[in-house]
Amino acid sequence: MPLGDWMMEQVCLLLNDPRVQAQGCGLSVNVSTVQFRQPQFVDKVRDVLQRTGAPAQLLTLEVTESLLLNDVEGTIRKMVALRALGVQFALDDFGTGYSSLAYLMRLPIQEIKLDQAFIHDLAPMSEHSVLVQALLMVASSKDLRVVAEGVEQAAQAELLQAWEPSILCQGYLFSRPVLAQDWLLNPQLGMAS
């Protein structure tokens, strides 16, 4: 819990940095199921946004489908309360969980992140291509941003962008992870395409 709270604060401090604001980009932070399920989680996020001055609409919380395994209604209530603040949500590792698609369609999310397991062996006529295209259709039906994780080859990025021109590709093809202070000196480092 302390690590999750610290990470949330660090991301919010970065969002309030004038160099980040000049770029107009948002930042995402992973939130564990344990962290999200804290009764005071919404209050903690509200507090850190107020203390740091971070613009809520530029903060995206990345959560996994495992949030839905218990207390679906409570999870949705918290997400709705955070959305009212302006916070956005990304469903991380999309397509690898065990949740009902009906529940997923109810979540107030703005982005899905296709798990790298689908991207690793991606080829035009592969089994993964059928799954990825189906997931892209689900995302399109909800007007969601899509991020493809684990893109390591130009051919993967080209194929994904042919299927969905607005897709964001993230992976070693574009950058290895970079330290925050290095990114602040050159915000183009580590950016997805």
Q: What is the pLDDT of residues 26-52, one digit of tens each?
A: 999 999 999 999 999 999 999 999 999
pLDDT attached to residue 161: 95
Q: What is the mean pLDDT of the chain?
A: 89
pLDDT attached to residue 48: 97
Bigger pLDDT: 80 vs 121:
80
Strand 88-94's sheet: what is its strand order?
A: 27-30, 59-63, 88-94, 111-114, 145-148, 168-169
Q: Is 50 helix (H, G, I), strand (E, B) or coil?
A: helix
Q: Give the whole-number percent of the chain exceeding pLDDT 90.
A: 58
Is the dihedral angle over the CA atoms 52, 58, 64, 67 positive or is it negative? Answer: positive
pLDDT attached to residue 190: 56
* Partners of residue 60 on adjacent β-strands: 28, 88
In sequence order, which residues have a C-beta less than 8 Å from that of residue 47 and are 6 or more positions away? none
pLDDT attached to residue 23: 83
Give residue 139's Cα distance to chain centre. 13
Asked whether the beta carbons of 147 and 170 are under 8 A apart, the reply is yes
Asked if pLDDT for residue 61 goes beyond 90, the answer is yes
Lowest mean pLDDT among 41-45, 102-106, 157-161: 102-106
Full-model pTM:
0.90
pLDDT attached to residue 79: 96
Asked if pLDDT for residue 99 goes beyond 60, the answer is no
Bigger pLDDT: 26 vs 101:
26
Q: Is 63 helix (H, G, I), strand (E, B) or coil?
A: strand
- What would be the CATH architecture of the domain defined by 1-109? Alpha-Beta Barrel (3.20)
Extract the tokens encoding 8.
């949330």
Q: Measured between alpha carbons, how far is 53 from 16 in angstroms, rounded to an integer?
A: 6
- The closest of 80, 42, 83 to 60, measured between CA atoms, is 83
- The closest of 133, 179, 168 to 60, measured between CA atoms, is 168
